[in-house]
Structures are given as C-alpha cells and as structure tokens.
C-alpha cells in the first residue's frame, strides 16, 4: 500500500531542492543582515551538518509565491505594467524580484508568515533585502522609487495581510552590501564569526548547526 505522506514529503523535498534559489551558491539578498556565522559557512561552502532543516512552511511559501505570480499575470497577461519573477544580476549579487510595477517604480516582495509573527514585521533583514532588490533593478536600468514588503499570514485571514512601504534608498542597499563585504573579509582572513543564534533556532533552521563545533556551528551555548 502506498504511503501517501511519504509520497508527498519526497515530492515536496525533490521539488524544492531543484529550485534555482535552492541551488544558488552565492549569498543572496535574503541573507544580508542575518547571521554572519551562517553566511561565513555559505561562502566557505562548508559541508552541511544538519539534515533536519526541511521546513514545510518554506516549501508551502514557494507554492504560495507561484500562485500569486499566476494570479498577477492574469491581471496583466502581457506584462505591460506588472513584471513578475524578474532575475537581476549585478556583479556577484543576484536577486529574484517577486513583482515590479512599472508605472509606480515599485518593487514588491511577498513574505509568508504566521499571524503571531506579524508583530516582528518587517525586520531590518527584510528591509535590507528589498532595498538590495531595488539596487539590483536600478543597476539594470529600471527606475525604482518605492519598495513594499507584504506579509501574508498562512494561518490568517485576508484582512490580516500586512503591507509595508518605504522609499527606495540606495545608501541603505550599499550598507547591506558592505555588510556582506565585511563577512567576505572575515573569510579571507579565516576569522570565524561568533555564533549569533541559540540551539532552539539553529537545530531547526540552520544547515550548518553542528553540536560538536568541529565542522559547522555549535550555536550559542549557555
């Protein structure tokens, strides 16, 4: 008898592992301002030591993004004003823009979350990410005036969707990129950053969590 749960799990993991974002080796905008230790390991291509990080919420978030993209395209099938899933590159920084609205010069990034997490929205890391998206678009000849982060609670109602808007600020984007340059300098100097997250977080979400600390990161230990 077929195990439906096993079929679904394997299918979702297989799909997620082949996504461009999953295969991306270079550090992307979403990592800027996060844990320096984790980014250090990404840049060093440290072998992953924690295989228990598959997040159903993250995979479902991918499907939600795909559904939104299809819905937006129905509103503007020829892309006259709404451009979805744009891939932009400048130097070694690459980003995938969820939505760019031409006539407003507006960059939109969808964020799936839980209702209880809305109180932390938007984080500085999320704001840095969307500012760097704006910078990438500007570097590729697009006019960028404003940025929007949209939190979509998976366990909430339509009325609980949270929208944050702010002006595009090139200097904020450059600050985020300088943060990454700082981590790259640590890599070149073999200066390992200190752990920044606790075990309760790292064990669930970080591929480089390593209780022994021999290969990956032991996290903050009391």
Question: Residue 200: what pLDDT?
Answer: 87
Question: Residue 23: what pLDDT?
Answer: 45
Identify which has the larger pLDDT, 205 or 88: 88
Residue 24 lies in a domain: no
Whole-Å CA distances, 151 to 109, 173, 182: 9, 21, 30
Average the pLDDT over 73-84 and give the result. 93
Residues 6+ apart with CB under 8 A from 124: 33
Q: Shortest CA distance to 148 belongs to which of 136, 162, 159?
A: 162
Residue 34 lies in a domain: no
Residue 212 lies in a domain: no
Residue 204 lies in a domain: no
SS3 labels along the chain: CCCHHHHHHHHHHHHHHCCHHHHCCCCCHHHCCCCHHHHHHHHHCCCCCCCCCCCHHHHHHHHHHHHHHHHHHHHCCCCCCEEEEEEEEECCEEEEEEEEEHHHCEEEEEEEECHHHHHHCCCHHHHHHHHHHHHHHHHCCCCCCEEEEEEEECCCCHHHCEEEEEECCHHHHHHHHHHHHHHHHHHHCCCCCCCCCEHHHHHHHCCCECCCCCCCECCECC
Average the pLDDT over 90-103 and give the result. 94
Identify which has the larger pLDDT, 16 or 103: 103
Domain of residue 84: give its range.
Answer: 53-189
Q: Shortest CA distance to 52 belongs to which of 207, 219, 210?
A: 207
**CATH number of domain containing 82:** 3.90.320.10
Residue 127 lies in a domain: yes
Average the pLDDT over 92-117 and give the result. 95
Residue 117 lies in a domain: yes
Question: Residue 40: what pLDDT?
Answer: 93
Count of domains forming the chain: 1
Q: What is the mean pLDDT of the chain?
A: 89
Express each pLDDT in 142-159 by its tens digit.
999 999 999 999 999 999
Cα gap 61→137, rounded to integer Å? 24
Q: Is the pLDDT of residue 12 over 60?
A: yes
Q: Is the pLDDT of residue 180 over 60?
A: yes
Best-predicted range by mean pLDDT (10-14, 47-51, 137-141) = 137-141
Express each pLDDT in 14-48 by its tens digit.
766 665 544 445 789 999 999 999 999 999 999 99
Residue 103 lies in a domain: yes
**Over pLDDT 70: what percentage of the chain?**
92
Residue 46 lies in a domain: no
- Give pTM, 2 decimals: 0.88
Average the pLDDT over 187-201 and give the result. 91
């Amino acid at each position: 008898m077929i195990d439906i749960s096993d079929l679904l799990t394997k299918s979702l993991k297989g799909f997620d592992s082949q996504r461009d974002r999953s295969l991306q080796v270079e550090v992307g905008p979403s990592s800027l301002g996060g844990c320096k230790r984790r980014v250090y390991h990404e840049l060093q291509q440290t072998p992953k030591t924690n295989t228990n990080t598959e997040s159903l919420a993250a995979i479902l978030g991918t499907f939600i993004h795909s559904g939104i993209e299809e819905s937006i395209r129905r509103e503007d099938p020829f892309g006259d004003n709404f451009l979805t899933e744009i891939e932009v590159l400048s130097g070694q920084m690459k980003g995938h823009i969820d939505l760019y609205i031409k006539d407003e010069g507006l960059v939109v990034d969808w964020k799936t979350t839980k209702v209880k997490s809305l109180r932390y929205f938007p984080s500085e890391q999320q704001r840095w990410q969307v500012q760097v998206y704006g910078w990438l678009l500007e570097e590729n000849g697009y006019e960028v005036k404003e940025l929007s982060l949209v939190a979509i609670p998976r366990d909430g109602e339509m009325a609980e969707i949270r929208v944050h808007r702010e002006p595009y600020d090139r200097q904020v984007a450059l600050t985020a990129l300088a943060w990454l340059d700082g981590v790259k300098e640590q890599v070149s100097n073999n200066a390992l950053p200190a752990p920044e997250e606790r075990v309760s977080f790292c064990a669930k979400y970080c591929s480089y969590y390593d209780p022994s600390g021999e290969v990956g990161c032991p996290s903050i230990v009391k």
